[in-house]
Structures are given as C-alpha cells and as structure tokens.
Amino acid sequence: MRLEVKKTYKLFIGGKFPRSESGRVYKVTDHKGELLANVAKASRKDSRDAVVAARAAQSGWAGATAYNRGQILYRIAEMLEGRREQFVEEIRALTGKTDKQANLEVDQAIDSFVWHAGWTDKIESVAGNMNPVAGPFFNISTNQPTGVVAAFAPQDSALVGLVNTIAPAIVSGNSIVVVSSERLPLPASTFAEVLETSDLPGGVVNILTGNAAELGSWLASHLDVNAVDLEGTSNAAELEILAAENLKRVIRPGSYSRQTATGSLQHILDFMELKTVWHPKGD
C-alpha cells in the first residue's frame, strides 16, 4: 500500500513557486469544515519580492506585440481547458457547488481569457484616436499600460473572480501582483501552474495567498506600484488614502462584475494611461 502524495500549495512569484519567507502557512477547509490543505501565508517580504518581480517583467511584456500577448492569453485558456477536472474538483470541495455549477465557473474563466485575448490588438482601434485640431499638426491619442498593478481578488469566488481580476490588467502590457481569496485559495495556486506552462513570461503575474487585510496596506503604499484594484478588500477607504501618496490609479470595490465570461473594455482602459502626441504636418 502506497502513501498518497499530497500537493504543496505555494506562492507564485517571478515564475517560480517559493514558500513564504516567513515559513507561515494557514489551514484551508472544505465546505463541510474538514481540512483540505495547508497553504502558504504571504508576508510583507513576499509582497515586496512580488512587486520587484512584476517591475522586472513589465517592460518586456509591454514591449511584446499585441498579437503575441493575445496568443499567450489564448494559450492560458487552452491550458485551463486541459486541467478542467482538477479545477472542478477544487471548486466543488471548497464551495459545495454541484458538478454543473463548478463546470460553469470553469467555463466562465476559460471564456473570459478567450474574450480578453481578442482585445489585445483591438484596444487602439477602439480607444485610440486621431484628434481634429485647428492647425498644421497631427494630434494622436494612444493608450499605454500604467505599469505594475496590485490587486485583490474577490473573497467569494474561487476561480472566475481571480481570472477577471488578472486578465483586464495584463491585456495591455501591465504586470500584476494579485492576492487570492483567503478562504478559497486552492484554484489560485493551481492556476499559477497553468500560467507557468503557458508561455507567459515569469513575473507578469504573481499570485500571493494569505490575508488581504494584512497585505493590503503594504501593497497600497508601495511606491513602485502604479495602480491598485481593491475589489477583494474590506478596508478600501483606508487603502485609497495610502494609494494617494504616489497618485496610484484606484479601482474601487464593486466597479465591475467579476463573475461573467466576458469583461468590460472600460475595465481594461482603467489600467492604461492616455498619451497624446503632437506632430507637425510636412509641406
């Protein structure tokens, strides 16, 4: 008789799977209260390491062609499809959802990545503009990624909420540090394995498990974070004040639905900066 090999749930930072530097873990139970796993509990040092990894990866990801980013996001959807059964099992165990309900959540997560993949090379066509001006100039507005995003996935969603927090940020070339649901973290750790095998450059997405309230103040006040998505936080007003110190872009809780198979173009644009260029016309 052989012993079952238990899965070790770690953090995902810079394309690697470290344990928390503090050595801390916390217990995750199923919907009946039975122990499922011990999960790494991220610390302040882990969050700082994740921001460093995100910053190192951001310029290369932004410099990739929109077509290439779209192909990688579509590859993520393919990999999610290939591991459907594992995600369904984890969602069912954590939430008590039926097989049909769990499959629907996985479907929504997969379809969301396909939807976002389709936007990578279309953002400028829809949101950019050649502006009319009274003078011998071209005036062109383009959208550019804002940089490093810190985000907090919804606490009540195991997978689709996480996906709909990550995808809108990385479509345009941002990198992200995301804190998963504290109560439902297992699909987030499994999703990190999908990302690691999907051609996504290491550091573009960094996933932390642990307490959002503990990690929130450190990420919101971090001077190398350019935007914060506060969806999964319980102290958003406090974090907005911290984010104001270096004029971060702030996405408030409830701004967008996170439970659907399609997103919002405005959600994507919220993580972009509008740049306007003037250029003289030739003779």
Residue 279's DSSP bridge partners are 138
Residue 229's DSSP bridge partners are 151, 251
Query: Span 189-216, mean pLDDT?
Result: 97
Is beta strand 249-251 parallel, antiparallel or unpaired with respect to 272-280?
A: unpaired
Highest mean predicted confidence (pLDDT) among 3-17, 130-144, 201-215 = 201-215
pLDDT mean across residues, the chain: 95
pTM above 0.85, yes or no: yes
Three-state secondary-structure class, residue 145: strand
CB-based contact 141:115 (threshold 8 Å): no
Query: Span 122-131, mean pLDDT?
Result: 86
C-beta atoms surrounding 123 within 10 Å:
19
DSSP labels, 16-75 = B-PPPTT--EEEEE-TTS-EEEEEE---HHHHHHHHHHHHHHHHHHHHS-HHHHHHHHHH
Three-state secondary-structure class, residue 169: helix
- H or E stretch including 183? none
CB-based contact 164:263 (threshold 8 Å): yes
Rounded Cα distance, 159 and 141, in Å: 35
Residue 35's DSSP bridge partners are 29
Rounded Cα distance, 113 and 116, in Å: 5
Query: Span 50-71, mean pLDDT?
Result: 97
Q: Which two tokens stand for residue 249?
A: 């872009």
Burial pattern 106-119, b for ≥16 Cβ within 10 A else e, equals bebbbbbbbbbbeb
pLDDT for the residue 134: 80
Q: What percent of the chain has pLDDT over 70?
A: 99
Task: Quickly state the pLDDT bin for 283 (edges 50, 70, 90).
Answer: low
Query: Span 114-121, mean pLDDT?
Result: 97
Task: Quickly state the pLDDT bin for 220 (edges 50, 70, 90).
Answer: very high
Query: Span 52-73, mean pLDDT?
Result: 97
- H or E stretch including 225? none
Burial pattern 246-274, b for ≥16 Cβ within 10 A else e, equals eebbbbeeeebebeebebeeebbbbbbee
Rounded Cα distance, 172 and 121, in Å: 9
